[in-house]
Structure 1
Amino acid sequence: MRKSTGNKLSILIIWGSYFLADGAANFTIGLITSSRTSCKFIQRNDLLAFWAPFLLLHLGGPDTIAAFALEDNQLWLRHFLTLIFQVVTSFYLFLETLPSNKLWLPTSLIFLAGVIKYIERTRSLHFASWVTFREALLMEPDPGPEYARLMEVFSSKKLARLPTTISETVDVDIKQSKSAFYSLQPSGERLDDFEVVKYGYHFFKIFRGVIVDFISHNNRTKSRAFFLARNAEDALRVLEVELNFIYEILYTKFIVVHSCRGYFSRFLTFASVLVSLGIFFFRDCKNGLDNFHIRVTYTLLLGALSFEVIALFNLIFSDWTIASINKENTNPRVWTILEKYLKFRTSKWSKCRDDSGKERVTPVLLRRWSESVAGFNLITYCLKKLPKKSHEENDQLCLGIYKKTTHLLHHARKYCLEYVVEPLGAQDFLDELKYAPKKPLRKDLWEFIFEELRRKSKEADQPENIKKISSARGAYVLEEYCKKQLEGEVVLLETLKTEYIENVTFDESLLLWHIATELCYHGSEVDQDKKAQPDEVDHKFISKHVSDYMLYLLVMKPTMMSAVAGIGKIRYRDTCAEAKRFFHNKGLGPNNIGKDACENLLDVNTVVKPVQVKGDHRSKSVLFDACMLAKELQKLEEKKWEVISKVWMEMLSYASNHCRPDAHAQQLSTGGQLINLVWLLMAHFGLAEQFVFTIAGAGRAKVIVER
């Protein structure tokens, strides 16, 4: 569930279960050990010895979860020591029952299956640990051509006064890899489900290094042409498969299971549990046991068998298996079954309720990520946080009761916040549950993101262009509009670029543009009733959606923005405090809508800059600076939303490009984010910063002596 939903409560339940699992196993093995001599608890120690190996199966866990977070992978050595302790304890309990143990054979089989399961989990944690994963991507050391010897030859030829030059050649290996890859590319038609998985796996193999900052220009060459030839939907499907592979190597056992050794181990564990169940059912080894103990044993055996069946199903119908098969060498019936399964699992689009576009509606269990985009709005949040105004009541008694009840509730809420919520650090958690709703990914939003990045990728042929585009956070698109001489509004665009993007930090710019976008959204007189045509891009919706999403990342996902946020949290809190004070003074509260708040803000006279009024104050609020920005944006009239949407697109790509790779990887364990897809798409389009310092196509040099 956790890779396909970002629901906080679901993740909390999974987190609790994961961390209670090891403790439950340790407690149970201790209970069994201490109860062996207690006749009141059970009459036969051989049954206790039979139960103990089931704890190894339990600790091995299902194939779909080996680690909950990236930090668990770094603790693989601790799991290895726990493995040794549990195996020794279970084996000791088993030895003490010999030679009179009638259940020695099923106990041995369950013990074997449990050890295999636990070893698989420990190995998967080890392979996914940062050091091991990085080491696995390292190639053999390549010292390159002998520079000293080459220069010796060059110098000797020069001394002999021969016409000698050094010429670079195009690397043959690079040419061969390019031609081989281009020959694999499908036509410009829509990719079928098998091609999506195949290409997702192909790009996963060559781009998994982005997780640990291992990426080269050769990777860019192999993917850029492919994604330039695709449409937005096919690109999204391939990226989803690729992210799913990254998730599975970091958090599941699939990296260990999908190998010849893994297939044999899975067959062995399944057969061991099945044979144990058959022996216990058919052989005369239940004599002397009461019905309760028999029921417990059957429950353990059937539970273990159920998990093995589920593991076998996941093994067969996984992207790893589908990526490894070939249609020509596959049985037609098997191919038909897999084809129907992939079609059943294909992501679904459906019309929005207001018929404004299409949105993702894939069932939860069939998703490869959450397929949702969260949003958090500062104006709405500040209004809802204000106390509600009491309505005038004619009945004084009712009014008195209402005031007393309100007073008690206010004190109870204050007590909970002061002594429960804040000490536990749960305020942001509760705010996210209440004020950050998740909405399905809109198709037009993704198409806009894809087309913008594809357009910029075509301009990123030189390292200097890549650097300029990857480091742009709004200024690049405003420069483009300045070059177009947009109706003589060059001075206005230069002001927007200089004062609200270049001369401010990223977190300040994000807050400024978020509030200004909200003010324009509710306070626009030009396009209040204007709606986008079916074939037009709805820049107004995209601006609003991305604006709320970026503030959600800044406030609710600080680890994602830690590299670029600066003092974003402090600036956000100060801005909220000033907004609440302003709304309170204006008599606004939860009963008012955002439009009322925005109109009141736009009515404020902002001829003088706030910094000149406040002076050098410690407050970092940008509320009324954003009002000035909104009034400047209103001057753009018809082009306003197009400009705003493209500025937000640059901010989103800037944040995704400057987010630490481990922060991206961490988000995959809780449903994934839109910013993860943007990050991976930018790498495929060659817009990652790592490409700035690499040169493609340069082969080894050779000394040429002319006649």
Structure 2
Amino acid sequence: MIISLEKLWNKLEIRVLVMSSLGLQIFLLAIAGFRKHVISSRLARTTTITWHGPLALMFHWLLWLAYLLADYVATVALAYLPGSERTKATLESKTHHLLMFWAPFFILHLGGQDTITALSVEDNELWARHLLTLCSQVALAIYYYLSSNLEVGALRLPAALMFSVAIFKYAERVWSLQRASMSSLRSSMITKPDPGPNYAKFMQEYTSSNEAGLTATIKVEVEKHKGDLESQQPKEVPEETKDYEEVVCKAYVFFPIFKRLFVDLILSYKNREDSQKYFEGLKFKDAYKLIEIELSWMYEILHSKGSVIYAFKNYGWISRGITLVITTATLCIFAVADHAGYGGFETTLTYVLLGGAVSLEIIALGIMLLSLWTYAAMKESNSFNRLSKFLFSIQTKLRSETKPRWSEKMAQFSLITYSLEDKRCLWKCIIKSVGFKETWDNYRYTTYVPVKVGLKELVFRELKNKMKNIEDTASYRRFTSHRGQWALQRKGYYQEFGWSVEAEFDESILLWHIATDLLFHETEKSKSTLDKQSEQKSEPQPAQQLEDNPEQKQQQKKESSRDISQDISNYMLFLLIVRPFMMPAGIGQIRFGDTCAEAANFIQPLGEIEKRNIKKIKNGNADKGNIEKSNAVKRLLEVNTEYDPALIKGDRSKSVLFRGCKLAHQLKTEFTPEGKNEPDWDKMWRLISVVWVEILCFAASKCSGQFHAKQLSKGGELLTVIWFLMAHLGMGEQYRIEEGHARAKLIVSK
């Protein structure tokens, strides 16, 4: 039995490999682009049944496996070809010739698909390794081909044609990887050196004039721009809904400029003014559409062949057209050739390979033509107007403009929930000892929620308010250094709560997270009261910000400041614990660990009343986790925090648990009117929400562009969207060129 299976495998091995190689290429072409929309995490749960749970985990693991296997299978298949030839040569006189004809197909598959060249940004840095593999594998395939004693006849021409396409495709992949590497990207985006006015010649004329007995004076007129005049000439620009076509074309104009941020290059005041001028008249939904289009294009540059096929005018569709013609010609030549002496199964499989190659080329050409990038390029050059409109209409039907171009999800992580449920037991000690504790925690305690429309609108409104309050060029960078201070000062509460935002950044996040979580569950019992207050006291929105869709109107009404604050609070803690590389340097994880340890010691030991309440759950429909958390919140809020906990506990432990409780108490006290027992919840949550927005924007501006780029292939990150939006609104430390050339004049008089 074993001998028969071995013979069967020896007979089918190369055939199985070639079918597997083609299948992997089809799989990669079909699903690789979905990485922009599916959350990637080492392990992730979700509160709703969507792609962003176990299915997302399976998707990314399958893609990772297919990406690695695609190269491995093609390489192994090339190594098996000589053995397959020797095995079959004594039995079938010409079948081994057909098997050797498959060699260029493996090179073609090593060239990969247009939708994926790199699994992560780090893969682009390995382009030199792929170049070496290209040279070695092509040399090996040609050697096998020439040493197979292939007769002059039907297979020589189609083999030569397929070799030309295969080598071109593989070389194009290496080229794409090289162009997408960070060093190459940075080099390609650096502007031409600007020496400025000829200072030496100017001063020589000045000196010569003085030595000649003339009076020479220098008059300098500094170039004026928006940053100097904005406070003197305030102008309110009405917001208008833009056509989707206009948004796409404008994104095409901005993208070559703002993609520099991903390699930490600087921008000029002219770039800022042009972007601000356009964004001032945008509604928030159109602004986010433009940002998402640009980020999706950046993904294509980093992880697909977009850095090549879209970077050079007409290169993409011309090259795809040529390769399609060659592969189609190869199929036709093989079809009319004499197949006598070839095995029937091998002949059929060759047709499958050729048909697959032609189909993949057609699909690649279709994807490129239906890209928004292609449409914008055609529109800018005023060529193929009818064709561009036709392609754009198909593209919008296949993918609606309202559909997000990233996952539009934000992760959630709760300190109190973690402290309640992370109890010590034997199996947790085991997974900790083998190094899987962090992975398990990420799976068990991380959830994902949709990014609310109200949250996006609030961030956009707050950023535009900052932009309108800018007085000079230095204000642009100064506003990004605020992490709650400006919001508290504007609302008139800095004196009361300034201490909480002047602490270290990771400490501020934990303080406001604890206070937000406590107050969120404290208001759960007063939810109906809060809803009534929200309806009566909610700030009136400008008419141009109202949505035309009645369903969206209703949805925004439901998105209270309380829910938005809770989402941002949990998201910021997730970034602090799970994505610390995207946050400013600090001791956030140490502080989080100490705080969780103190919380566990305080809230995990339950009293008899709490135990009896939890036992009742077995006979009811209540959720055990919610009851435990409600009890924990109640006990924490009962702690007297009149005296500063930091003075009592000292500095050895970095726990901020009861300082967070103190902040919650102060917020309740400050917003409770005289003579009433309940605070003005709606007013309090509006303050908390704007503080969280400022903290979110501060974190976004401090994250390196390379770390933002890293998240594009993992479903995207809200922090990246906010960062790119801030740059378009003119805020950030990337604006270093604040003035143009000085207009110096040499005035000479007797």
Query: Deviation at 1:688?
Result: 0.7
Distance between the aligned counterparts of 1:196 and 1:169, measured in 2?
Answer: 34
Distance between the aligned counterparts of 1:41 and 1:98, measured in 2?
Answer: 14
1:261-660 equivalent positions in 2, closer than 5 A: 261-285=315-339, 287-326=340-379, 329-330=383-384, 332=386, 335-348=389-402, 362=403, 367-386=404-423, 411=426, 413-414=427-428, 417-418=431-432, 422-423=434-435, 425=436, 427-482=437-492, 493-498=494-499, 500-502=500-502, 504-524=503-523, 529-531=529-531, 532-533=534-535, 538-561=560-583, 564-586=584-606, 591-593=624-626, 594-617=629-652, 619-637=653-671, 638=680, 639-660=683-704
Query: Deviation at 1:156?
Result: 4.3
Query: Deviation at 1:700?
Result: 3.7
Pair 1:296–1:42, CA change in 2 (3 A): farther
Q: Is the 8 A contact 1:369 1:672 kept in 2?
A: yes
Pair 1:42–1:705, CA change in 2 (3 A): farther
Distance between the aligned counterparts of 2:513 and 2:561, measured in 1?
Answer: 15
Q: Deviations over 1:326-356 (max 9, x none)?
A: 39643546624422422542343xxxxxxxx
Q: Is the 8 A contact 2:216 2:746 kept in 1?
A: no
Q: Deviations over 1:220-243 (max 9, x none)?
A: 121011111111011011111111
Give the residue type in structure 2 aligned to 1:2. R
Q: Is the 8 A contact 2:317 2:365 kept in 1?
A: no
Q: Is the 8 A contact 1:574 1:620 kept in 2?
A: yes
1:239-278 equivalent positions in 2, closer than 5 A: 239-258=291-310, 259=312, 260-278=314-332
Give the residue type in structure 2 aligned to 1:519. L
Distance between the aligned counterparts of 1:466 and 1:264, measured in 2?
Answer: 44
Give the residue type in structure 2 aligned to 1:694. I
Q: Deviations over 1:12-39 (max 9, x none)?
A: 2222222232222222211223333223
Q: Is the 8 A contact 2:244 2:401 kept in 1?
A: no
Instruction: Describe the SS at the equivalent of 1:65.
Output: coil
Distance between the aligned counterparts of 1:344 and 1:39, measured in 2?
Answer: 48
Distance between the aligned counterparts of 1:187 and 1:452, measured in 2?
Answer: 16
Gaps of 5+ in 1: 176-185, 349-361, 388-409, 483-489
Instruction: Describe the SS at the equivalent of 1:166.
Output: strand
Tell which deviates more after alignment, 640-649 or 334-343. Answer: 334-343
Pair 1:223–1:79, CA change in 2 (3 A): same
Q: Is the 8 A contact 1:116 1:265 kept in 2?
A: no
Distance between the aligned counterparts of 2:135 and 2:346, measured in 1?
Answer: 28
Q: Quick one: which of 167, 172, 177 aligns to 2:220?
A: 167
Gaps of 5+ in 2: 1-33, 40-55, 227-236, 542-558, 615-622, 672-679
Query: Deviation at 1:158?
Result: 4.8
Give 2:74's aligned residue.
25
Q: Is the 8 A contact 1:35 1:41 kept in 2?
A: no
Instruction: Describe the SS at the equivalent of 1:704.
Output: strand
Query: Deviation at 1:195?
Result: 1.1
Tell which deviates more after alignment, 44-53 or 79-88. Answer: 44-53
Distance between the aligned counterparts of 1:414 and 1:641, measured in 2?
Answer: 38
Give the residue type in structure 2 aligned to 1:567. I
Tell which deviates more after alignment, 230-239 or 291-300. Answer: 291-300
Q: Deviations over 1:348-389 (max 9, x none)?
A: 3xxxxxxxxxxxxx3xxxx421122222222223333348xx
Q: Deviations over 1:548-577 (max 9, x none)?
A: 11111112222212xx14111111122222
Query: Deviation at 1:290?
Result: 3.0
Q: Quick one: which of 81, 96, 101 aligns to 1:50?
A: 101
TM-score calculated relative to the size of structure 1:
0.84
Query: Deviation at 1:507?
Result: 0.8
State, as a whole percentage, how many aligned pairs show the same letter: 37
C-alpha RMSD of matched pairs (Å): 2.7
Give the residue type in structure 1 aligned to 2:695. M
Give 2:44's aligned residue.
none
Distance between the aligned counterparts of 2:470 and 2:744, measured in 1?
Answer: 26
Give the residue type in structure 2 aligned to 1:695. E
Q: Is the 8 A contact 2:371 2:395 kept in 1?
A: no
Q: Deviations over 1:244-303 (max 9, x none)?
A: 111111111022123333333212221222222223333222x33333323432332232
Q: Is the 8 A contact 1:67 1:251 kept in 2?
A: yes
Give the residue type in structure 2 aligned to 1:651. I
Q: Is the 8 A contact 2:118 2:304 kept in 1?
A: yes
Q: Deviations over 1:607-642 (max 9, x none)?
A: 33333443343x322111111111111123233212
Q: Is the 8 A contact 2:120 2:303 kept in 1?
A: yes
Instruction: Describe the SS at the equivalent of 2:747.
Output: strand
Q: Is the 8 A contact 2:378 2:388 kept in 1?
A: no
Pair 1:330–1:265, CA change in 2 (3 A): closer
Q: Quick one: which of 106, 109, 117 aligns to 2:169?
A: 117
Tell which deviates more after alignment, 71-80 or 97-106. Answer: 97-106
Q: Is the 8 A contact 2:514 2:657 kept in 1?
A: yes
Distance between the aligned counterparts of 2:64 and 2:423, measured in 1?
Answer: 33
Instruction: Describe the SS at the equivalent of 1:701.
Output: strand
Give the residue type in structure 1 aligned to 2:116. I
Q: Deviations over 1:394-435 (max 9, x none)?
A: xxxxxxxxxxxxxxxx65x3476246xx43x4x444433443
Query: Deviation at 1:191?
Result: 1.6
Tell which deviates more after alignment, 470-479 or 524-533. Answer: 524-533
Distance between the aligned counterparts of 2:99 and 2:116, measured in 1?
Answer: 28
Distance between the aligned counterparts of 1:156 and 1:677, measured in 2?
Answer: 56
TM-score calculated relative to the size of structure 2:
0.79
Q: Quick one: which of 155, 173, 178 aligns to 1:126?
A: 178
Instruction: Describe the SS at the equivalent of 2:329.
Output: helix
Q: Quick one: which of 722, 730, 741 aligns to 1:686?
A: 730
Distance between the aligned counterparts of 1:334 and 1:473, measured in 2?
Answer: 45
Instruction: Describe the SS at the equivalent of 2:604.
Output: helix
Q: Deviations over 1:140-170 (max 9, x none)?
A: 3222222122223334445635262322253
Query: Deviation at 1:461?
Result: 4.3
Instruction: Describe the SS at the equivalent of 2:744.
Output: strand
Distance between the aligned counterparts of 1:554 and 1:74, measured in 2?
Answer: 28
Pair 1:380–1:703, CA change in 2 (3 A): same
Q: Is the 8 A contact 1:193 1:346 kept in 2?
A: no
Distance between the aligned counterparts of 2:90 and 2:582, measured in 1?
Answer: 52
Pair 1:568–1:169, CA change in 2 (3 A): closer
Q: Deviations over 1:437-466 (max 9, x none)?
A: 222222111010001011111223423322
Give 2:289's aligned residue.
237
Q: Quick one: which of 65, 71, 74 aligns to 2:122?
A: 71
Q: Is the 8 A contact 2:262 2:709 kept in 1?
A: yes
Pair 1:345–1:470, CA change in 2 (3 A): same
